[in-house]
Structure 1
Amino acid sequence: MENFIAVDLGATSGRVAIGRVTKEKIEIEIVHRFSHEIIEDVDGDILWNWKLITSQVLIGIEKSLSQGFPISLAIDSWAVDYGLLDNEDRLISKVHSYRDPRTFTVFDELVSRIGKERIYQDTGIQFLNFNTLYQLVAARAEDSFKSASKFLLIPDLLNAQLTGKISTEVTNASTTQLLDVNRRGWDYPLIGLAGLPRELFTDLHEPGTEIGLIKGFGALDGIKVVATASHDTASAVAGIPFINRNSEAYISSGTWSLVGIESDTPVTSKEALAANITNELGAYNTVRILKNVTGMWLLEECRRTWRSENEDWTIPQLVDEASRNLEFDSLIDPNEPRFRSTGEMPNRIHEYCLELGIKPPRTKGEFTICILRSLAAAYKRTIAEIELVTGKQISSIHILGGGSQISLLNQLTANACGIVVKTGPVESTLFGNVAVQAIGAGIIPNLDAARVLIANSFISEEFIPS
């Protein structure tokens, strides 16, 4: 049995796991979990608690060593956010969260100046105000930017801290809206048009590349760090046991819901641009054609508000309340920009409904069923858009991640989309992370073989439209 360490960082929590690869399956054991939240500093900047995140990752890796020295370790995380390094490769910037509003004005100005068609023709990335392109342009006035020699996305920033090696992995780089999706290389003409220094952009590497050995961390020294598909959704998609990917879609359900398909080629047509479809790179020369839908963030932010009011509701409790309020049928648009900000989510939803002249939710059950049913309706719209721009007919959906454990949402999705929904794996990101490491180590021959092992590693549940 061969052991690998997988570090998976999400926008509200992180995990460190051991992946054990046998001839029959891949076993995942989570040895360390931690929560983290975005913080606001004295300047009003919305940041990640980088010291907490890095310290917890180190704790998790050390815990993993109790079960033996691994073949390798790999890190995946959420997309678009970054840190700036100086000439000595030291982190010199704050690590901003994509939820920081600093990009709002920049987004409109830059898109207007360069043009949507020019930005999309090479990058194939959907227009979101927090993409790295707009974050970097917004940062140009900051002292740290003026002193920076390069930038690194979150997984590569951690890789650099652990090994001293500087490089950027392509699946996460593709989310920046600064990468040529056809060449799998930086779009230097666009970088120039945006007024960004070319030297900020490091060499690129593909999933499976060896980064280096951990050094300077005591007992952790000598662990081989390799690149997985470092965007967490890219790892999650690598962990899907597709039977016929030409007719299967996926929803990676967490803080965000990523709705899409796996393809061999990008689609950057006028129709794709009009639908704001994104083409993010995947492992082994694949492309993830998808669209972001604001996901469980809506319910998590409601929970955070209610906790501040001394009402601590769990997700299962809220889903149970929702199941008693199925008659409540008001719908919201999860991607409404006002829902991206932190705080007062119940009030934001209430005011949105009043503005649209629809009945606003009042009880916890009504808020929850409103959110879940609205997500299902958004999934239906997004699947239809993907079918239109790709010419594919989707016959089933794999729902991955934590949201796949909410049976009510799975059934609502099956009902709304009119097709079968299959759950899991819940830990698809960890499965994909470990699979890419095992392929790189020569233990699994290819991604198809890895997906067979993953299919043997969990029990899927099906939801039939009713």
Structure 2
Amino acid sequence: MSVLAFDLGASSGRALIGEIQGDQLVIEEIHRFSNDPVQVGNRLHWDILRLYHEIKQGIVKAKWRGEELDSIAIDSWAVDFGLLDASGELLCNPYHYRDHHTNGVMEEVHAQLGKQKIFAQTGIQFLPFNTIYQLVAMKNAQASVLSSADALLMIPDLLRYFLTGERKSEFTNATTTQLFNPTTMDWDDDLLKALDLPVHLFGEVVQPGTVVGTLHEAVCQELDVPATPVIATTEHDTAAAVAGVPAHDQDFAYLSCGTWSLMGTEVDTPVLNEQALEWNFTNEGGVGDTYRLLKNIMGLWIVQECKRAWEKEGAKLSYTELMEQAKGAPAFQAFIDPDDLQFLNPSHMPKQIEQYCQQTNQQTPQTKGHMIRIVLESLALKYRFVLERTEQLSHKHFSGLHVVGGGINNTLLCQFTANAIARPVWAGPTEASGIGNVVVQYIALGKLKDIHEARALIRRSIPIQTYEPRETATWHQAYETFCDMIKVKYTMSDYG
């Protein structure tokens, strides 16, 4: 039994073949491709048709290998979407969440409805690019595509529709829109009507692990492949990554680390209290009737953008070289708050970091290694900050932290994180989203009983590296300084 998983990230996508051989899960990448946003005038778009082309190439490569696929599924990032007209045609290329058309819209919506109402009805954190604000921005601009639209599909739903012709919305990604009500388990018509957004755009929501159709006849003829089942897996890539966490315990903390960092835990019911609202935590749908109580952290995007800016200036440095320079740079010379919105999409990230240090009366970094060290230390300290708040909101205590995703290849950040939280970090797997996608397909096909059996399979199959904490007293002192810098009162109750 072989399944094909497409895992689409903000900068690249990959196709993975998953097989269960004996008591082991075997994963093999068969296709990798870039995911490059395209600037057209003032608008930043996803190249959705290119992504669909690459998905078809992945299916063809599976055929060339002689694979007889039992199913196919897609996961991707959240919040972005495509609009279809009444005949099923795509009306325009989807906007990229880093596009500026939502500037100021979140504040406008909050003034109209109030943050308390929105959070009480959706449980979702407030980020300026959430689907709700993208739609209001389009309405404000009197975008003709919105008035012409007959259906809205999130990115993996849209690509799945291209493959099958079936329009279904998957639960884990639907919850990220800030338009889904976890109490009624349906789209929140009250919010949609209050914002004068078209209710008819939002269709049936299915749970992760639902077989939604088979490859369309036209796709089968084009690619010369059989009518393979297509499954709505955990289609939000973070939900897929959490499904791929090899945790022993039912209560565990995770960090999905990549371009974005997402930290949290699984809970049975959404946490919708005033404290969660004040701390801007989110309750996104998960697998197995759970919710992911978590918080977004800006992540390695800041490092990636520093490297990109330096390369445009002629400096050719690998990530390995940058990390070596950071390792040798002086410790705790300055801090940034990775979640400050000035780091969301600046024109020149290194200059933005220098400006932030000047604004906060800190020493500006003198070398590239020094700057990268500031970013990595600040990320590790922010991880501790969010981990402790996750414990308070969930009423749980975690003995360590599971870190998954491409960020585990940054061994310096993994060690800094263990130091900062004063607990072990268990790093792996790298391809957690793809693995989560695969095991949910196997659950849907009846090959695995549930997510607990799936995680046990992952533990047996994927090597995990443990980072033990070091220099915890020094890091604890740095944490106090960090909290002062981001103007949050530090209390001993937050520590242990």
TM-score normalized by the length of structure 1: 0.97
1:91 matched to which residue of 2?
A: 90
State the one-letter code of the partner of 1:196. Answer: L
2:192 matched to which residue of 1?
A: 191
Q: Distance in 2 between matches of 1:17 and 1:137?
A: 36
Which among 36, 46, 50 is matched to residue 52 of structure 1? 50
State the one-letter code of the partner of 1:192. Answer: K
CA contact (8 A) 1:93 1:145 kept: no
Point out the more displaced range, 256-265 or 217-226. Answer: 217-226
1:118 matched to which residue of 2?
A: 117
State the one-letter code of the partner of 1:199. Answer: H
2:180 matched to which residue of 1?
A: 179
CA contact (8 A) 1:213 1:221 kept: no
Q: How many matched pairs? A: 463
CA contact (8 A) 2:102 2:129 kept: yes
Which among 408, 418, 436 is matched to residue 414 of structure 1? 418
Deviations 1:107-159, CA, capped at 9 Å, x for gaps: 11101110011000021100001000000111121111110011100000001
Matches within 5 A, 1:301-320: 301-320=305-324
State the one-letter code of the partner of 1:102. Answer: H
Q: Distance in 2 between matches of 1:307 and 1:220?
A: 43
1:139 matched to which residue of 2?
A: 138
* Offset of residue 3 of structure 1: 0.5
2:357 matched to which residue of 1?
A: 353
2:30 matched to which residue of 1?
A: 31
* Offset of residue 59 of structure 1: 1.2
* Offset of residue 342 of structure 1: 4.7
Ranges of 4+ aligned residues in structure 1 off by more than 6 Å: none
Unmatched tracts of structure 1, length 5 or more? none
What SS does the aligned partner of 2:297 have? strand
2:127 matched to which residue of 1?
A: 128
1:72 matched to which residue of 2?
A: 71
Deviations 1:200-220, CA, capped at 9 Å, x for gaps: 101111111111111212224
Which among 315, 322, 336 is matched to residue 340 of structure 2? 336
> How large is the RMSD of aligned CA atoms in angstroms?
1.2
CA contact (8 A) 1:328 1:366 kept: no
Q: Distance in 1 between matches of 2:116 and 2:108?
A: 15
Point out the more displaced range, 456-465 or 215-224. Answer: 215-224
Q: Distance in 2 between matches of 1:364 and 1:65?
A: 46
2:214 matched to which residue of 1?
A: 213
State the one-letter code of the partner of 1:413. Answer: T
Which among 239, 242, 252 is matched to residue 237 of structure 1? 242
Q: Distance in 2 between matches of 1:418 and 1:143?
A: 53
State the one-letter code of the partner of 2:376. Answer: L
Which among 284, 288, 293 is matched to residue 289 of structure 1? 293
CA contact (8 A) 1:323 1:365 kept: yes
* Offset of residue 419 of structure 1: 1.1
State the one-letter code of the partner of 1:231. Answer: H
Identity %: 40
What SS does the aligned partner of 1:152 have? strand
1:103 matched to which residue of 2?
A: 102
Deviations 1:141-187, CA, capped at 9 Å, x for gaps: 11111100111000000011111000100100000001112333111
State the one-letter code of the partner of 1:325. Answer: A
State the one-letter code of the partner of 1:24. Answer: D
Name the CA shift for 1:221/1:361 in 2 (closer, same or farther; >3 Å): farther
CA contact (8 A) 1:425 1:458 kept: yes
Q: Distance in 2 between matches of 1:175 and 1:32?
A: 28
CA contact (8 A) 1:401 1:426 kept: yes
Unmatched tracts of structure 2, length 5 or more? 471-496
Q: Distance in 2 between matches of 1:369 and 1:224?
A: 47
Which among 229, 232, 254 is matched to residue 227 of structure 1? 232
Deviations 1:428-462, CA, capped at 9 Å, x for gaps: 11111010000110111111111111001111111
1:61 matched to which residue of 2?
A: 59
Point out the more displaced range, 134-143 or 326-335. Answer: 326-335
What SS does the aligned partner of 1:422 have? strand
Q: Distance in 2 between matches of 1:225 and 1:326?
A: 52
TM-score normalized by the length of structure 2: 0.91
CA contact (8 A) 2:331 2:373 kept: no
Name the CA shift for 1:319/1:387 in 2 (closer, same or farther; >3 Å): same
Q: Distance in 2 between matches of 1:221 and 1:341?
A: 43
1:373 matched to which residue of 2?
A: 377
What SS does the aligned partner of 1:191 have? helix
Deviations 1:372-393, CA, capped at 9 Å, x for gaps: 1110011011111111222111
CA contact (8 A) 1:245 1:261 kept: no
Which among 274, 278, 281 is matched to residue 282 of structure 2? 278
CA contact (8 A) 2:253 2:263 kept: yes
What SS does the aligned partner of 2:262 have? strand
